[in-house]
Structure 1
Amino acid sequence: MCNDNTCFSCNNIREANSQIVRGTLMIPFRTTTRGSFPLNGTYFQVNELFADQASSVQPIDIPMECIWNFPRRLVYFGTSVSSIFKGFVCVRGFDQKECAPHPL
């Protein structure tokens, strides 16, 4: 393997062997609205997630051994609800410091 940081092939091998997952925090809708939402119990309040802005820009490193035994859940990502029709929906990021949504 080469030492070029831009070499996709070598970086892909290093990534696969690292036992580290790069992750973005997902924030439930009720957390972002601090529990106040006029349409209580609607699809978005129950199923929508926001991608944390800070960890989207700079993903966090998580050792695989820490999350290996967690139950798996499907999350569908996209820019519109019409392209996503079941499961959790993530169409916006959320900056926890500014308490404001951001586009993905």
Structure 2
Amino acid sequence: MTARTAPARGRMIEERGFSFVVAEGDWLDCWDVHRSVILARGAPEDPQAVLDAYRRRPTWMWANAETGHFCRWLRARNEALPAGERAGFYGLDVYRIRSQCSGLQVGGEVDFSA
């Protein structure tokens, strides 16, 4: 996430009703950020603290100050909303797409050769 893309994501949530953001990143690491921004019980209060703990590469791509700023904004926005209306933050590692999609129930077969 960069200084140019973070405001666009915020506008997509605020103005277009998007309920989540997907970053190109490891699903499990981003899940911890997601839990923070939706105010999940037991999750860290500061999403930046979760981002600072990232050790997988390339951390510069999504564990950076712009992403932290956006996730703090998202958490603050979510505080005023009921749990079912809070926007989330998810990761999708495009290099491991098969393993990440293996647990998803989709309406048909997924053709990974396409």
| TM-score normalised to structure 2 length | 0.22
For the pair shown, the structure with the greater C-alpha radius of gyration is 1
Task: Select the structure that is richer in strand.
Answer: 1
Task: Select the structure that is richer in helix.
Answer: 2
Select the structure with the greater relative contact order (CA < 8 A; seq sep ≥ 6).
2
| TM-score normalised to structure 1 length | 0.24
